[in-house]
Amino acid sequence: MVSQIGFDSLLSVDCAPMEQLDLFAHSRDVMLRRDVLAAIEARRALPGRVALDKLTSAYPQDSLLPAFEVLVCALESPVVRFSDHEAALTAGEILETVIQSAANRLLSPTSARHWIEQEWRAQAQAAEDLAYSPISPQAHAVPCLLRAGAWRAAECAVGRIASWRRIPLPLAWMTQARMGSDGLAASWPLLAELAWLDPPGFDGLVRGLEDASLQRLLRDFDANYDANFEDESASGADDPAQELAWFPAWCLLAEPGLAHPFRQTEPGTDGDPERAARLLLELLLLEKQGSPLLLQRKQLRGLHAGLFARYMQTR
């Protein structure tokens, strides 16, 4: 973690991709570079500084010296606690840009990812006393834990945010953490709640989630909404992101087996997309019981004619 080490000067560091080292070369510059790399990968600050000083003394024009300096400085200057949100945001910007670039240049993709994940864990620990701020949400510990892949720790940290399930960004954080720890099946209730509460935030989250079945449902929704599902009278009809508020209801028609996890959702804002999904849950249950459906079907048609038409096509 870099602390108080000249943010402006770090931003000027050249972190272009590292030229491939010849693993069979034994020239002095290659050996000295390897010594620095070994100390960095082992996260040993003092040996890293000693090895870097030797390389600098022997080869002051070495093109990798700036990137080596960034990572050695990060090891030498760990942050213990952030004093305020601004300090956390600054450190996060340095880590995301300068330090990440240096690690990508010097280390293999796997090593760089693991090395940076440890830095994010350290930053999360340094930020654990900072309260959630709507003005500076990225200063909170949770985004750092998510970047580190520390899913359970992220869930615990979100859970300490008051009313997190009613605030779009913490709800998105919890959804991402739940996906990482338990997978899609356990995440459907939160995904549905996020779609109803914050469709653009839902859109930003789910497009990057690596789950084949979820991505298939999203592709089908995108491909079919305008042609077979759109309702000009429905809210969000002109905004592709807002349309995703109807995604949970559409999923119930595409995958009726999702009824069980969707019944675990908590009440939200009671907007039309949420009401439609809950009506579909009721209809699916009534169908199994052989009960009358006229009232619920009429209500569904009033909420979204396109959704009702698609429902009737499957009956």
Going from N- to C-terminal start, the domains of the chain cover: 1-149, 163-315
User: CB-side exposure of 279: number of CA atoms within 13 Å?
Assistant: 24
Neighbours of 283 (CB within 10 A): 20
What does the pLDDT read at residue 24?
A: 41
Selection from 106, 95, 26 nearest residue 67 by Cα = 106
DSSP H helix total and E strand total for the chain: 19, 0
Q: How many residues does the chain have?
A: 315
**Could you report the per-residue pLDDT of 203-237, keeping only the tens digit for each?**
999 999 989 999 999 999 988 876 556 555 555 55
* Average pLDDT by stretches of 10, the chain with 315 residues: 42 45 64 96 98 97 97 93 96 96 96 97 97 97 98 98 97 98 97 97 94 94 73 56 92 94 94 95 90 89 90 85
Give the residue from 109, 121, 193, 130 showing the smallest Cα distance to 152: 121
- Model pLDDT for residues 60-109, shown as the tens digit of each residue: 999 999 999 999 999 999 888 999 999 999 999 999 999 999 999 999 99
